[in-house]
A = this chain, B = another copy of it.
Amino acid sequence: MRIEAFLRESPMFTVKRASRHFDRVAADAFSADGLGFMEGLLLAAIFFEAPRPIKPSHLAETFATTRGNVSHAISSLEAKGLVQRKIDPSDARGYLLALKPPGKRCALRVIAAFDRMQRGFEQKVGRAALTEALDAIRALESCKHI
């Protein structure tokens, strides 16, 4: 088989390449705010949850990643003055996250960018096909090992 045909049929490579592409697109879109893709998503998540503050563990679960990873990303957002950690009054082990005013403005820009991208996607492949494709990709994630 030719490698090109192999890659073309491979969900793993197709998904990986698309992921890289989206990283570049997001980095480009958020370059003014100096955010990465994941940072933008976290900011959007905190915004959507407002005014209810959100816990890091909730974010880790939502984004299917580790707490350590979220902790690092939040530290980065905090260093940029976008997010604030406050001790959770109901559980002093944990923290609650809230947007600072610049973070709120930044989140709005991020969400607007995601929305524009979403419209571009739906225009490109159609809403129904997009939904089906995402369902298929999600289903692949249940293949846990080779």
Partner of A124, one of B113, B125, B140: B140
Q: Interface 1/0s, chain A 61-96, versus B by CB < 8 A?
A: 011110000000000000000000000000000000
Given contacts A3-B44, A12-B117, A114-B10, A145 and B28 within 8 Å (CB-CB):
yes
Bound CA–CA A3/B40 (angstroms): 12
Chain B residues, Cβ within 8 Å of A3: 44-45, 48-49, 62
Q: Assign chain A's interface to a size class.
A: 35 or more
Chain A contact residues: over half helix, strand or loop, or mixed? helix
Cβ of A108 < 8 Å from any Cβ of B?
Answer: no
Bound CA–CA A15/B3 (angstroms): 22
Chain B residue, CB-CB nearest to A46: B3
Bound CA–CA A7/B13 (angstroms): 22
Tell me whether B12 and A15 are in contact (CB under 8 A). no
